[in-house]
Amino acid sequence: MTRVLVVEDDPQLVRALVINLQARQYGVDAAPDGTTALRLAAARQPDVVLLDLGLPDMDGVDVIKGLRAWTRVPILVLSARQASDEKVAALDAGADDYVTKPFSMNELLARLRAAVRRTEEAPLAPGATLVETADFTIDLLAKKAVRGDHDVRLTPTEWHLLQEVWGVSQSNKTNYLRVYMAQLRRKLETDPAHPRYLITEPGMGYRFEG
Ligand code: CA
């Protein structure tokens, strides 16, 4: 059973979500605020988190940061906010996707399935986990990157992006990825302006060139 943690302070919306999710055989826990959400996430180990950004006790972005300190559980943000910088802040903090309120239940469920599917695809084939080039070595499983003779520190988002590049998971967050790709190239490429390894494929996304 796929477990969903619903973090939302609007009781009517919580009720609608719980009914729809349970009807589709999801296990559901609900938290009305951020503090409860962080506690329940640790206690119940959900497979996916649906998170409202406007919570009574804390900003949803801080809930994302709290979760990302220890878990990679997919986080789907429910946002009433139209401003794109709010969404960027949520994505930057580690959210996987967002749905703007009001949303259709069908769209929400489709995005939920996609978020869960991406993590199910995550297990890497042995041999696909180690990437060695003339300039750097990356162990996707051990989360270790070495360039020359020193370790490169990568953020969780950058690791996630590397997995995207290696085809481990799929994403359509192209604009969002672009920012992080530039950052990643600065850390790994000798000439980030003319990348040799982390190649942009117009209309396709990113490709790793060994
Ligand atoms: Ca709210």
Predicted pLDDT of residue 20:
96
**Quick one: 26 and 108 in the same domain?**
yes
Residues 143 and 117 in one domain: no
Q: Which tens digit of pLDDT belongs to each residue from 36-46? A: 999 999 888 89
How confident is the model at residue 167, as a pLDDT?
Answer: 57
CA of 39 to the centre of ligand 1 (A): 18
**Statement to judge: residues 141 and 114 lie in one domain:** no
The Å distance, Cα 157 to ligand 1 centre, comes to 26
Q: What is the Å distance from ligand 1's center to 125 Cα?
A: 41
**Centroid of ligand 1 to alpha carbon of 40 (angstroms):** 18
Calculate what percentage of the chain has a pLDDT beyond 70: 84
Same domain, 97 and 13: yes
pLDDT attached to residue 181:
81
pLDDT at residue 107, rounded to an integer = 93
> Distance between CA atoms of 69 and 120, rounded to whole angstroms?
21
pLDDT of residue 169: 45
The pLDDT tens digits of the residues spanning 21-37 come to 999 999 999 999 999 99
> Same domain for 169 and 87?
no
- Per-residue pLDDT reduced to its tens digit, 149-183: 899 998 877 887 777 676 544 444 445 566 678 88
Same domain, 116 and 145: no
69 vs 31: CA distance, rounded Å: 19
Residue 194 Cα to ligand 1 midpoint, Å, equals 44
If you measure from the C-alpha of residue 12 to the centroid of ligand 1, how many angstroms do you get, rounded to a whole number? 11
Taking 90 as the threshold, does the pLDDT of residue 75 lie above it?
A: yes
Give the end of a domain, one of 121, 152, 180: 121
CA-to-CA dists, residue 54 to 38, 70, 137, angstroms: 15, 22, 41
Same domain, 117 and 199: no
For residues 13 and 47, membership in a common domain is answered with yes
Give the mean pLDDT of the chain.
84
Beta bridge partners of 147: 136, 150
138 and 117, same structural domain?
Answer: no
State the CATH number of the domain containing residue 147. 1.10.10.10
Of the three residues 86, 102, 121, the one that is the final residue of a domain is 121
Burial of 190 (0-12, 13-18, 19+ CB in 10 A): middle
Residues 106 and 158 occupy one common structural domain = no
**pLDDT, average across residues 64-72:** 87
> What is the per-residue pLDDT for 204?
57
CB distance 96 to 115 below 8 Å: yes
Let me know whether 101 and 161 are in one domain. no
The total of structural domains in the chain comes to 2
Statement to judge: residues 149 and 181 lie in one domain: yes
CA of 173 to the centre of ligand 1 (A): 24
The continuous run of DSSP H or E covering 51 comes out as strand 48-52
Please name the amino acid found at residue 36. Answer: T
Domain of residue 40 covers: 3-121
CA angle 62, 19, 1 (to 5 degrees): 75
59 CA → ligand 1 middle, Å? 10
Q: For the domain that residue 15 is a member of, what is the CATH number?
A: 3.40.50.2300
Of 99, 121, 143, the domain-final residue = 121
Ligand 1 centroid, distance to 52 Cα (angstroms): 6
- Cα 49 to Cα 59: distance, rounded to the nearest angstrom: 15
